[in-house]
Amino acid sequence: MTAGPAGEFDLDLPPPGRIAGRATGWWGMVTGLVALASMHSTLLFAHVYLAARAQAWPPAGTDAPGLVPASIATAVLMLSGVAGAVAHSAAGTGGTRRLQAATAVTALLGAVFVTLAVGDLRGLELEMRAHVYDATFVVFWAFAVFMIAIGIAGLVFIQFQLWGARLDQRQRLLAVNAALWWYFAIGCWLAVYGTLYLGAGVWR
């Protein structure tokens, strides 16, 4: 441990270990995302399977979800993906300020997306116990939005980590992993958007 300016101390931690040219933390994140992707794929398969077996999907008396609110939310999320890519690049070669700005914009756009998506879901007035369509819709939707929410929390954590600190290897790895999570979360939502919204009329 070494003394820094104004009596602050920095922990002299060893650099992250590496496997096949990648940090072990990167491999851990990828492994976790693969596991989550398998869970998300299972939810997707369940929804499509039930839709294919049903006589009407959505069931009679249930309106298909509107495209406009979900499309606006999706557009906002895609913009956050651009900001996330800038943060990813800054984590590798950029400076602290650029990384802070990019992660802040990503988190802000993510929060706007969650607000829009939740408002849209509430407007649909789905009930988990009313029909299997409602249940699978909400669970599939919630998984993707929850991934976004976790990503926002991670980006906020990075902001606190970078506040007044130098950008070292561990912080760069943390930012890279946050970007990987964000890409995954966007992919989850795109699957939801394509299946629940764009594909709503396929099964009628």
Residue 10 has pLDDT above 50, yes or no: no
Q: What is the spatial distance between Cα 198 and Cα 50, in angstroms, rounded to a whole number?
A: 17
The average confidence (pLDDT) of the chain is 86
* Phi (first) and psi of residue 22, to 5 degrees: -120, 150
Residue 84: the pLDDT is 96
Give the pLDDT mean for 28-37: 95
Residue 18: the pLDDT is 61
Residue 17 has pLDDT above 90, yes or no: no
Residue 7: the pLDDT is 44
Residue 22 has pLDDT above 60, yes or no: yes
Domains of the chain: 37-198 (1.20.120.80)
Give per-residue pLDDT as tens, 152-165: 999 999 988 887 66
Give per-residue pLDDT as tens, 52-79: 888 888 887 788 899 999 999 999 999 9
Question: Which is more confident, 167 or 76?
Answer: 76
Residue 74: the pLDDT is 98
Give the pLDDT mean for 167-171: 79
- pLDDT band of residue 143 (cuts 50, 70, 90) is very high
Residue 151: the pLDDT is 97
Residue 201: the pLDDT is 65
